[in-house]
Amino acid sequence: MSAALSSLSIQDEISAAILQILRAAKPELTCEIPEKLALERPKNRDHGDYATSIALALAKPSGLAPRKIAEIIQAGLIARRDIDSVDIAGPGFINITLAKSSQGGVIVKILQSRKSFGQGNVLDGVKVNLEFISANPTGPLHLGHTRWAAVGDSLGRVLTAAGAKVTREFYVNDRGVQMDKFGASLQSAALGQARPEDGYHGAYIDDLAKEIITGNPEVLKLSGEEQTNSFRDIGYKLQLAQQQSVLDSFGTHFDIWFSEKSLYDNNFFTHCQEVLKSKGHVYQLDGATWLRTTDFGDDKDRVMIKSDGSMAYFASDSAYYISKRERGFDICIYMLGADHHGYVGRLKALAACNGDDPEYNVHILIGQMVKIMEGGEEVKLSKRAGTIITLEELVEKVGVDAARYTLIRYPVDTPMVMDVDILRSRTNENPVYYVQYAHARICAVLRNATDVGVTYGADQIHPELLLHERERELIGALGEFPRVVAGAAQLREPHRIARYVEELAGVYHRFYSDCRVLPLGDESPSELHSARATLCLATAQVIANGLDLLGVSAPEKM
RNA sequence: GCGCCUGUAGCUCAGUCGGAUAGAGCAACCGCCUUCUAAGCGGUAGGCCGCAGGUUCGAUUCCUGCCAGGCGCACCA
């Protein structure tokens, strides 16, 4: 990590300075001073470059008038060379305007840090297990899975950027009743028999059955259960491989494909039972083995081993969680569909039963439903009927970039509607293109700059020349990126990156229309041209970094 | 019945660790290409931030209750 990266940004410096001033104002100010102070960027330009309401917040605990506190801060800040003015407004807001020459700092930092600009250390060294999708290997990935494929992958990138050590994991339910139904469905399809009522019915089952027979004609010679199991095992491998290849082409990669079956190898499950027993929350009732999750707020206790001796689903859940913790993960993130929100209570309680802090060690994200519209109508999803929209079909319709971007741009806890027609359009209403276009536009300008002899780069910043309102806005927006990344990581909300990048693209487009970057006609290249081109270069870098956190490409031409 | 999520502009949605005139895109209307990508930019218009209380100097944001919609509440996986 370069020196420029570890050095503080200007707003961090100023907020640290304010806290310093407040702590030093001891005789007058006796109340407790907060650890952190976030300077906000005011919406209104008249309120300066940065603003804080700290004086208002401290008025009550200190017993001082807010304006009085504001004056203390003002007096302490005004001597700084990087600050042009400090104004007190209204009841006690403090509005800070930076010196023009100091605003070049962020551009320097971007050009030095390049791809690493935006990275931070709020999650430094934290080991995170990020589990997502975890679809049954009994069919293709559908829309709900696709939302997680995009959001989960992006969250992994964001957490990594914040300093966390992230392991992406896909939990494969490769044992149990569903697998057996899958095998029976494939078998009946291959033999031209009626499908089991509660089996899998999609058209993909026929295709898969054919593929199995073609590749393994010997299964037809088997019979009964042996044949069912062969269909199951071969089908499982093919289906899993299909999911893996689709995810690969979607740009979502996993570090570990974790087999549920493996939880029962080498007595690991027995070990987990012993661990939970030793913590005192396991009991026997009616011949079954239970975990007393109600000790920690779950609405009912959960069966792990059923009275017939078979494993309940929760048995695997508990062993899997213990596996994650024993593999050294501090934070286990689960990404679940809305229909699984009932799991939150039991997973948190499970962690507590294991002696962990459910608020810290377990983080569960619940993703609401995704609907898809085409031609003004909802495309219905029905796995049973076999008319599911798969990840592949979505990508076929709109492409990887548009699919990923759109799925990430909304908070996961709100239901979302994807309109295929909009995603295919190339206008403002399609935010993917809006952002990518900004990047491509900058690249075009920079190509032209070289042609007309305008030089640009870290030695061509000339911050004192960038006095236009649009330039100030753009520089300010660039400086926000590291905070946005840190916030997205802490809140587990990658959509914040998408929204930021849209905002930045908008600011750039406005700059572009008001500030001519390159010389007009026979005008000769000046330092202002170089300064603006350099600002363009920095903007392109930040847009590219933001898009990279979303797993979306930043094209140089469109 | 109990629990989780949602309710912001005509539509699709952001925002809020409580702050200064509530944001974007679309749709409507009016403008901007003889020079850097118009896949762009500017402007007009559009809001009891679901309803009612509470806490606060200040609430769209926090708390409580209600209303509406979505999704769950197995010795299924």
Asked if the Cβ of residue A521 lies within 7 A of any atom of strand B, the reply is yes
Given the DSSP bridges, would you call strands A331-337 and A165-172 parallel, antiparallel or unpaired? unpaired
Largest CA distance in chain A: 92
Would residue A540 count as lying in a domain? yes
Q: Write down the pLDDT at residue A101.
A: 82
| Same-domain status, A54 and A157 | no
Would residue A195 count as lying in a domain? yes
Would residue A62 count as lying in a domain? yes
CATH number at residue A26: 3.30.1360.70
Dist CA A459 CA A108 (whole Å): 9
CATH number at residue A492: 1.10.730.10
| Same-domain status, A196 and A47 | no
| Same-domain status, A433 and A514 | yes
pLDDT digits (tens, 9 = 90+) for A530-543: 999 999 999 999 99
* Closest residue (Cα, C1') to B6: A414
Dist CA A549 CA A497 (whole Å): 8
| Same-domain status, A397 and A463 | no
| Same-domain status, A250 and A387 | yes
Asked if the Cβ of residue A413 lies within 7 A of any atom of strand B, the reply is yes
Q: Write down the pLDDT at residue A384.
A: 39
| A 246-285 residues, CB < 7 A, strand B | 285
Which one of A98, A122, A150 terminates a domain? A98
Would residue A11 count as lying in a domain? yes
* CA–C1' gap, A269 and B77, in angstroms: 18
| Same-domain status, A444 and A407 | no
Q: Rounded to two decimals, what is the model's pTM?
A: 0.94
Which one of A98, A121, A150 terminates a domain? A98
Dist CA A495 CA A497 (whole Å): 5
- With CA atoms as reference, report the closest residue to A472 among A12, A94, A50, A15: A50
Q: Which nucleotides of B are covered by protein (CB under 7 A)?
A: 2-7, 12-15, 17, 19-27, 35-42, 56-58, 70-77
For chain A, the domain total comes to 3
| Same-domain status, A410 and A439 | no
Would residue A314 count as lying in a domain? no
| Same-domain status, A388 and A529 | no
Which one of A409, A424, A439 terminates a domain? A424
| A 24-83 residues, CB < 7 A, strand B | 36, 38, 42-44, 46-47, 51, 53, 56-57, 59-60
Would residue A516 count as lying in a domain? yes
pLDDT digits (tens, 9 = 90+) for A205-258: 999 999 999 999 999 999 999 999 999 999 999 999 999 999 999 999 999 999
| Same-domain status, A55 and A159 | no
Would residue A246 count as lying in a domain? yes
Q: Nearest 5°: CA angle at A318, between A316 and A320?
A: 65
Q: Mean pLDDT over all residues of chain A?
A: 91
Asked if the Cβ of residue A245 lies within 7 A of any atom of strand B, the reply is no
Q: Write down the pLDDT at residue A419.
A: 85
Whether A495 and A409 have beta carbons less than 8 Å apart is answered as: yes
| Same-domain status, A440 and A487 | yes
The number of CA neighbours under 13 Å toward the Cβ of A172 is 18
E-assigned strand segments in A440-529: none
Would residue A512 count as lying in a domain? yes
What is the extent of the structural domain holding A93? 3-98
| Same-domain status, A137 and A177 | yes
pLDDT digits (tens, 9 = 90+) for A335-382: 998 888 889 999 999 999 999 999 899 999 998 888 888 877 777 654
| Same-domain status, A166 and A237 | yes
In the predicted model, residues of chain A with pLDDT beneath 50 are 1-6, 382-385
ipTM: 0.94
